[in-house]
Amino acid sequence: MSAVPPLRAGDHRLHRLRGAAEARTRGVSDRDSAGRNRGLETARRTRARADPARRNGHARRAARAGTRSEGRLHRARTRPRRQAAARILLQAAGTGGALARRAHRPDAGDRQLAGRSDRTPEKQRIPAHPRHHDPQRAGGQGGHRIALPGDRSLHRQPRRTARRKQIYRSGARRRRRPDFRDHRTVKSLLAALAALLLLPCPGGEVEILCTTDLHGRAEEFAALAPLLRKNPAAIRIDCGDTLQGTLLSRLSSGRIMISLLNELEYDVWVPGNHDFEFGPEPLVSAAREFRGATLGAEFARDGFRPGAWTLLARNGYRIAVTGMTDPKMPSRLLPGSGWSFESNRDALRRIMPEILAVEPDLIVLAWHSGLYTPPGTMFRFLAEFPEIDLVLAGHSHEEEPGRGISGAWFVQAGRYAGCFARITAEFDDRNGRLLRIRSELVRPDPSQPPDAGTTRVLEPFLRAYRPVAEKVLAVTEQPLRLPEKGDNTAPICRLGAEAMRDATGADAALFSVSALPEIGIPAEVTNAELFRLLPYENELCTVKLTGEEFARLVKEIGAASRRGRSVFRFSGVDAECRAEGGRHVPAPPEKLTLAVTAYTLTVTPVLKQKLETGAFRRTGLFERDAVAGYLKRLPKRGRP
């Protein structure tokens, strides 16, 4: 292509461009110029039909280059012409170099490309390329026809030929190949590459296996062993209430459960509220026997303080785990137990700077607390600690395969070894950032053969357990069963209240049991069957009450019967408590000594005042032992 001649003084192109630009500056459309342009365009098309070689500039340049062109399909080939025309226009309008660079965009095609100049009025648009080739308008010298924004022909598409119509209708229109010399194409490719680089790159994974509320179910726990062993690199955590719940675990003071945790290579154990029931010494002994980390950030005892948190490494990632027990634990224990407690919030505020200082890739809170366990819900608590990524919960015996709570992922396995939670944390392989957390609850597979390791651990305990479990304590006239809600006339209620008064020598006794009528035992009562009815380690205590205090106590337990599932039964005093709300105290005694369990003593408002003043006595006897001794003294076929 021949070079475009520069503009000179007196050049008709310069006068025409300046006149049109001034008209646009004044806001007047150049209608006369538009009319002349349309007439010249018609003449040009007539000549083009007569001379195919001059059909359009695209075809001429394509013929010179030896490449077939279809109208505007190869717009990139018009770049030299557009650049030359843009230089003419910019020289005429007096614009700067910034506009010249914008005018040289090669892929603008036949669209209007305009820029804003500091030398032009606000909102003035100056075209940056021509639309047609018009030799006559350029003095017959093969110049360039310049169309300004006021020219209506700028927005009019040229008439398509029959061939182009056929191409458009058939959908066979060829796509323009990217021109890698085009800086915008290069920019697009670089942007796409940057986006790909910024996308997360899934790489390493860390698997966490969690159990909770096993409650001494050693044999059921052993059934999970093949699945728990599947991934040797997994982190294994138990969230408490592990030791208490079965006669086998009671006879071994929880050692059977700790042995199974060690056999399955658990990394973390967090004691729950029922793990304190065996007393301080068995719990401390179990914590020291456990080979992993026993965590309890908020409790301690003279000479023993569990770890507040631990750091575990898996697959090159650092996992920080902190553990806490039941938030209501301070109010569940009797005074003089030797345990000291810190609030959960204060404990986490104290240790969180230590955890963040090691820059872990994942922060896990293993907490023996349910989703709605008071005081306060898990939602409000976790909102105060956004650093926590994963919460492993327990205590409430609920199942939660996984949900988001206050920015953390919340998971809770079921009870009694019915399932365990499997959590997978996925990290970005480049920077170690946490990408996502997946979780599910896994049930035992009955088709799996027994695990050899856990079977070996269980055998010595089972040999010692069977003779004691099968020992017959008494034969009652009818089977014993836990009562219906509000039914305190059930045989087990009368039996329990009489046994407590007989064992303590108190004037009266208050027995309470859960309304679970589906749990029953045969008339031939063995140690194992009795344990099913009374699985908790409730110590017996005695308190002295006035008549007024006793009347308030009857009122309070009547309200508790209506709200919850507990059933209460008195022995040695004429008082009745019904779930319907009725209560009967015909003649409250002036003073009496009442036998109650430690649990009742810590949850009943009237009796809790005795804890604060120290007006109570611990007997060292346990509720189940008192009932077993009472059964042994009954005649073989006697009614309780």
Q: How confident is the model at residue 516 (pLDDT cuts 50, 70, 90)?
A: confident
Q: Tokens 């749990």 belong to which residue? A: 519
What pLDDT does 177 receive? Answer: 59
Mean local confidence (pLDDT), 8-12: 42
Q: How confident is the model at residue 11 (pLDDT cuts 50, 70, 90)?
A: very low
The CATH number of residue 626's host domain is 3.90.780.10
437 and 508 belong to one structural domain? no
Q: How confident is the model at residue 417 (pLDDT cuts 50, 70, 90)?
A: very high
- Residue at 4 is within a domain: no
Please say if the pLDDT value at position 421 is more than 70. yes
Please say if the pLDDT value at position 111 is more than 60. no
275 and 360 belong to one structural domain? yes
CA distance 483 to 520: 9
415 and 554 belong to one structural domain? no
CA distance 552 to 573: 15
Mean local confidence (pLDDT), 57-83: 42
What pLDDT does 40 receive? Answer: 55
260 and 362 belong to one structural domain? yes
- Residue at 69 is within a domain: yes
What pLDDT does 583 receive? Answer: 54
Count of residues making up the chain = 640
What would the 3-class secondary structure string for 449-511 be? CCCHHHHHHHHHHHHHHHHHHCCEEEECCCCEECCCCCCCCCHHHHHHHHHHHHHHCCCEEEE
Cβ neighbours around 138 below 10 Å, total: 18
Q: How confident is the model at residue 250 (pLDDT cuts 50, 70, 90)?
A: very high
- Residue at 640 is within a domain: no
Domain end (from 460, 476, 497): 460
The encoded tokens of residue 501 equal 């008064």
- Residue at 639 is within a domain: no
Please say if the pLDDT value at position 541 is more than 80. yes
Q: Tokens 């009796």 belong to which residue? A: 607
552 and 411 belong to one structural domain? no
Closest CA to 117 of 92, 91, 94: 94
H or E segment and range at residue 608: helix 605-613
557 and 488 belong to one structural domain? yes
- Residue at 53 is within a domain: yes
- This prediction has a pTM of 0.68
- Residue at 170 is within a domain: no
Closest CA to 136 of 260, 19, 42: 42
Domain end (from 411, 428, 460): 460
Please say if the pLDDT value at position 104 is more than 50. no
Residues near 613 by beta carbon (within 8 Å), at least 6 away in sequence: none
CA-atom Rg of the chain in angstroms: 44
- Residue at 111 is within a domain: yes
Angle at 507 between CA 502 and CA 513, to 5 degrees: 60
Closest CA to 4 of 103, 114, 83: 83
341 and 215 belong to one structural domain? yes
> In a 3-state reduction of DSSP, which class is residue 572?
coil
How confident is the model over 558-583, as pLDDT tens digits? 888 777 778 899 998 876 654 444 45
What pLDDT does 64 receive? Answer: 46
154 and 208 belong to one structural domain? no
Share of the chain above pLDDT 90, in %: 46
Number of domains composing the chain: 3
| Cα torsion angle, 433, 436, 441, 444, sign | negative
CA distance 351 to 309: 8
What pLDDT does 174 receive? Answer: 52
- Domain assignment of residue 32, given as a range: 12-163
* More confident position, 142 or 565: 565
247 and 370 belong to one structural domain? yes
Is there a contact between 71 and 78 (Cβ–Cβ < 8 Å)? no
How confident is the model over 26-50, as pLDDT tens digits? 444 444 444 545 555 665 665 655 5
The CATH number of residue 436's host domain is 3.60.21.10
Burial 272-309 (b: 16+ CB within 10 A, else e): bbbbbbbeeebbbbbbeebebbbbbbbbbeeebebbbb
Question: What residue type is assigned to position 14 of the chain?
Answer: L
Q: How confident is the model at residue 498 (pLDDT cuts 50, 70, 90)?
A: very high
Is there a contact between 362 and 436 (Cβ–Cβ < 8 Å)? no
- Residue at 87 is within a domain: yes
H or E segment and range at residue 193: helix 183-198
What pLDDT does 206 receive? Answer: 97
Domain end (from 460, 495, 519): 460
627 and 500 belong to one structural domain? yes
* More confident position, 491 or 92: 491
310 and 397 belong to one structural domain? yes
301 and 410 belong to one structural domain? yes
| Cα torsion angle, 355, 356, 361, 363, sign | positive
Mean local confidence (pLDDT), 158-186: 56
